[in-house]
Structure 1
Amino acid sequence: MRKIILFGFTLLFFSQCASIKKHNEHLNDLISEKDLKSDVDFTYKKLQRLHPNLYWYISKKDLDYKFDSLKMTIRNPMTSLDFYKKLSPVVAAVRQGHTFVYPATKLKTKKETKALLKKGTGPFSQFDFDYFNDKLYVIKNKSYDKKIKPGTEVIDVNGTKPIDLIQEYNKFYSSDGYNTTLKTRSSGKRFTTFFTNQNGVKDSLKFTFKFNDSLKVITIKRHKDDKTDKQNKKDKKRVTEVDRAKTKAFKKKKRVNGYNSDLKNYNRNLHFEEKDSSVAVMKIRGFKNGDFRTFYKESFNKIKNYKSITFVLDLRDNGGGRVTEINNLYSYLSDSTFVFLDKSEVVSKSSLFGGAYFNGGSFAVKTIKTIFSPIVYTYLLLSVHANKNGKNIYATQTKPQKVNKNSFKGTIYVLINGMSFSASSIISSNLKGSKRATFVGEETGGAYNGTVAGFMPLVKLPNSELKIRIGLMLISPHYKTEINGRGIFPDVPIIPTLQDRIIGNDPEMDWILNDIKPTISSTK
């Protein structure tokens, strides 16, 4: 068995390298009209076979019309990027944020990626951007050119105006339902991806900046910081000199809190705002990576020991993650026995088996999957059942559960914004529906009544090599709202200004601290 697995991985490595080379060589080829129309049909058939609630936000008649109309507009051969721009808006019309088309872009081998990183930080990565009132601004300047001040407007990049690119690409993806906050909040962060999709990875970019009505054209190049290398060497030396207990504690924190090596931060953090620890603040950037059970167990034990009376859950910019994690977190926040999710709807057993497990991958990957397929299929056979309405149901986190013995009994606030999506919206729906928390911020990008996600395979279109991600499970929180297709609305609407972002103000958190002042005073 060991030799078979080793052979499989060796085969996988060489097949991936060959596949990348072949992909890049034909990236700009013109695809025939016939093949493009075939990919349109392929896309719609896959959506119908895999997506459990395709017509939630659009009727079958209207979606049929959109796909038929798309085929009518294809009259000439085109590149995969041009086809992407035609197909994506039609898929986005389904209004499911987890279902969208990936463009076919130039791929790099691991060796090429490593060599690029060794050359230094790319020009886009040297800035944090945000989008306000149809204008792109530098919020944080991390580049070697310190003359560029936060609050500087980006007029164009290599001749491309941000507003033109953002408005074009915002048609290619959707939030869940009808809300607009996801795009409003995320456009500034997505701009660099839009630009790279269009132009590829660049080692230098020519920016036209505007600050106080003064225009400047500045070229930002890929930059290698020598100080970073020196610092890394110092850090390595320090690690060998600190005692073993501290080293062990640091490694545990990275493992438990979920360390993001790209952003140099942790997925989960807990701190206390007041000197007496009466206000506990938990920031969750995403429900993924790390040992969440240990984190929540230790955190809520600490909150209990510190006798905190207010708990703030910060879900801003949280794009979601594992259902098992949000269920575990909710057990510490609910005030009574609870049901977390309704039973999830799927198209069929085969949609999970063929759509998720066997979809995609090279010959070597599929060979390895075949070895374990009997176990997977047996599990799905026992897990998926038809309900009284004839719908196929996959049950997870649907039974009544008891609250954790260390559950928080005090006042709860939840911070949300347009980038609170997927799993962060599901836990918010239950906290909102159970009236367990006060919500501060703006409407979430994820819908109150659930989302189509769970298993989300990438389906490769046979001719254009575009990939479409499709959610296979309709995941619904226990609590619902009559307002269909909208997110969780805040009890206290607060939207940060551009100036707040530049100087680091947090008006949402400030409002909470001001609101609880009488409570804190009465306990002292």
Structure 2
Amino acid sequence: MKASLLAKLIPAAFVVSILCVSCASRKPPQQVLQQKYAPEKLRNDVVLLKKILETNHPSLYWYTPKDSIDTYFNATLAGITDSLTLPAFRNRLSWLISKIKCGHTAVRYPAHYGRASIQLRGQQFPLSIKTWADSMVIIGTAPGYDSILKRGTIITSINGRNTHQLLDSMFQLISTDGYADNFKSQLISFNFPANYRSTFGLDSSYLVRYIDTAGVEKETLLIPITPKKDTGTARRRRPPGNFVPPLTRKERKQAERTSIRSLSIDTTLSTGHMRLTTFSNGHLRRFFRRSFRALRKENIQNLIIDLRENGGGSIAISTKLARYLSDHTFKVADTVAAQSRRFRYGRYIHPSWIYWLSMRVTSHKKDDGRYHFGYYERHHFKPLNKNHFNGQVYILQGGFTFSAATMFISEVKTQNNIHVVGEETGGGNYGNSSVHLPAIKLPNSKMMVVLPMYRIVLDSTCTKDGRGITPEIPVYPSSVDIRKGIDSKMQKVKDIISASQRTP
């Protein structure tokens, strides 16, 4: 009887203990966001990070020599003299990691901090801003925020910092491939308020200088805004006559897929418009099959492929798309090599065992002492015969065109029927470090640092100048186009297609 009772009590006690630990470990969001970490613990994280990068990063000294990397690490360690919050520590790590000049090696907040920041939204700068070079132009204001500053207005300074000072400070905390700073500009444009706050903190007000419609520089004072969380209350209070039924599960999935990839066909211009925001998810192989079959059936002669929002994804998927367009066999890269297959610090790399197993199977050591992914170095991919597209192709690219998207463009850009339009890519023209992307989890701060495992050299005959792919037909933003809502890159391509159809 006693044994039976004990057998029942032990599992119950175990469950209660787990619940107690779980509840105790959940701190209020405000406490999570304001928590500070002891300087010795943060310095230990930095020391460990250096050891892991030296052991496994394939391109630690590709653009920055070892003595400079050592100097940056020493400066980071010397600068940690007091307890820091995670944002403050993240800025120091981001500055340090950016010196490697590898776009895939980036710093991420731990999951618990991300959850807390979503639950407790703080105030932020009220304007959305498009940036390029040293230019800053308003593209919108926060919902419900009333401002005299309208879309297309040129900004010259914020709180006494001119545009060069603002962007240069934000650039210091963003990693990119080599010197392709257009990636940094585009990343800032995606969320200017968050990048401003990460770099400069929260100000009680913002003195914004701008150019008015008469070309005169003026100034106005803005106050920060707190984004409102949609609790669903507004939806519940709508009158019954205005009720909009929620999307079904099927409709939600379709909307998600459409946000990733879409194809529209304009038969009057004999033009297809394919938009791809990633080379991951979205059942892209099936999408490609259906899309190129539709292009063939409609006898479409021009295809626009918009990769301006495409930050990469699966190399296999981007290669699949290239096979529908390429007129020749091609390799993915001349070199795909890892520094090591060992995970000496595997307990801090997640998930290390999956990548350890994969690298054991797919890579082999060569005379240069590195471990080469032989399949991508040797295999020649052939163009697809079925539904192959032979018409004119216009690829739209920009600063956020990165990783596998840049690799795709590299594979097809030399063809006579393929034209690259837009701005320099964020992904490197010579190569990048990627393929496997586990994350380093630092034990004290729990900060995450993405760790690429392979160095990719796309074309060894190119010059390693740290630049992205330059377009054949450059088209840059302008305040006039932004104010009028004109997509200048798309419009340029449509003008070219229209002109070609008028030519006898």
TM-score where L is the length of structure 2: 0.79
Partner of 2:363: 384
Corresponding residue of 1:48: 54
From 318, 332, 348, the equivalent of 2:310 is 318
Aligned-residue offset at 1:97? 1.0
Corresponding residue for residue 420 of structure 2: 439
Q: Secondary structure at the match of 1:474?
A: strand
Equivalence for 1:177: 178
Deviation at 1:296, TM superposition (A): 0.8
Among residues 338, 343, 360, which one is paired with 1:346 in the alignment? 338
Letter in 2 for 1:292: L
Is the contact between residue 426 and residue 468 of structure 2 (CA under 8 Å) also seen in structure 1? yes
Give the corresponding residue for 1:144. 144
**Distance (whole Å) between structure 1 residues aligned to residue 441 and residue 241 of structure 2:** 43
* C-alpha contact (below 8 Å) 1:304/1:406 kept by paired residues: yes
Match of 1:493 in 2: 474
Structure 2 residue 449 is matched with structure 1 residue 449: no
Aligned-partner Cα distance in 2 for 1:13–1:310: 63
Residue identity in the other structure for 1:58:
T
For 1:152 and 1:297, the matched residues in 2 are separated by 43
Q: CA deviation at 1:317?
A: 3.0
Please point out which of 195, 215, 225 is paired with 2:220.
215
- Determine if contact 2:402/2:425 at 8 Å carries over to the other structure: yes
Is 1:272 aligned with 2:253? no
How does 1:367-382 map onto structure 2 within 5 Å? 378-382=357-361
Q: Which residue of 1 aligns with 2:4?
A: none
Q: Residues of 1 paired with 2:477 and 2:287: CA distance?
A: 30
Shift of 1:488: 0.6
Specify every segment of 5 or more residues in structure 1 that has no aligned partner in the other structure, as ranges. 1-6, 241-246, 260-265
1:403 matched residue in structure 2: 383
**Counterpart Cα distance in 1 of 2:399 and 2:23:** 37
Q: Distance in 1 between matches of 2:23 and 2:157?
A: 37
Q: Give matches, 1:10-409, under 5 Å.
A: 18=25, 24=31, 27-29=34-36, 31-32=38-39, 34-74=40-80, 78-102=84-108, 107=113, 109=115, 113=118, 128-131=128-131, 134=134, 136-141=136-141, 143-145=143-145, 148=148, 149-152=150-153, 163=163, 166-197=167-198, 212=212, 213=218, 215-217=220-222, 220-223=225-228, 230=238, 237=245, 250=251, 253-254=254-255, 258-259=257-258, 266-273=259-266, 275-276=267-268, 278-351=270-343, 355=346, 359=348, 378-398=357-377, 399-404=379-384, 405-409=386-390
Partner residue of 1:244? none
Deviations 1:325-380 (A, max 9, x none): 211111111113332334521122224x965xx6457xxxx8xx9xxx5x875544
Contact 2:401 2:425 in 1 (8 A): yes
Further displaced range: 69-78 or 489-498: 69-78
Give the Cα separation in 2 of the matches to 1:286 and 1:71.
37
Take 1:376 and 1:61, find their aligned partners in 2: how far apart are those partners?
Answer: 30
- For residue 263 of structure 1, what is the aligned residue in structure 2? none
Q: Say whether the 8 Å CA contact 1:327–1:340 is kept in structure 2.
A: yes
Q: Deviations over 1:46-81 (max 9, x none)?
A: 111121121111122322233234444555555554
TM-score (norm 1): 0.76
Write the deviation string for residues 427-479 of structure 1: whole angstroms up to 9, x where unpaired.
Answer: 11112245552111111111012211222222233344433222112234357
- Secondary structure of 1:313's counterpart equals strand
* Inter-partner Cα distance in structure 2 for 1:185 and 1:394: 31
Shift of 1:411: 1.4
Q: Is the 8 A contact 1:420 1:445 kept in 2?
A: yes
- Paired residue type of 1:340: V
Pair 1:15–1:329, CA change in 2 (3 A): farther
Structure 2 SS opposite 1:331: helix
1:305-332 Cα distance to aligned partner (Å, 9 max, x none): 1111111111113222221221111111
RMSD, matched Cα? 4.1
Q: Return closer, same or farther for 1:476/1:41 CA change in 2, 3 Å cut-off.
A: same
Rounded Cα–Cα distance in structure 1 between residues aligned with 2:255 and 2:136: 34
Structure 1 pair 402–333 and aligned structure 2 pair: CA distance change class (3 A):
same
Q: 1-side partners of 2:199 and 2:63: how far apart?
A: 29
Contact 1:339 1:478 in 2 (8 A): no
**Residue type of the alignment partner of 2:66:** K
Cα distance, 1:414 vs structure 2: 1.3
Q: Secondary structure at the match of 1:58?
A: coil
Secondary structure of the equivalent of 1:282? strand
Partner of 2:411: 430
Name the counterpart of 1:3.
none
State the identity as a percent: 25
- Structure 2: give runs of 5+ residues left out of the alignment: 1-13, 213-217
Alpha-carbon distance in 1 for matches of 2:47, 2:474? 43
SS in 2 for 1:269: strand
Letter in 2 for 1:144: G
Three-state SS of the structure 2 residue aligned to 1:516 is helix
CA distance in structure 1 between the partners assigned to 2:493 and 2:167 by the alignment: 33
Deviation at 1:169, TM superposition (A): 2.9
Secondary structure in 1 aligned to 2:220?
Answer: strand
Q: What is the letter of the counterpart of residue 131 of structure 1?
A: T
**2:431–2:459 Cα contact (<8 Å) kept:** no
**Match for 1:143: what amino acid?**
P
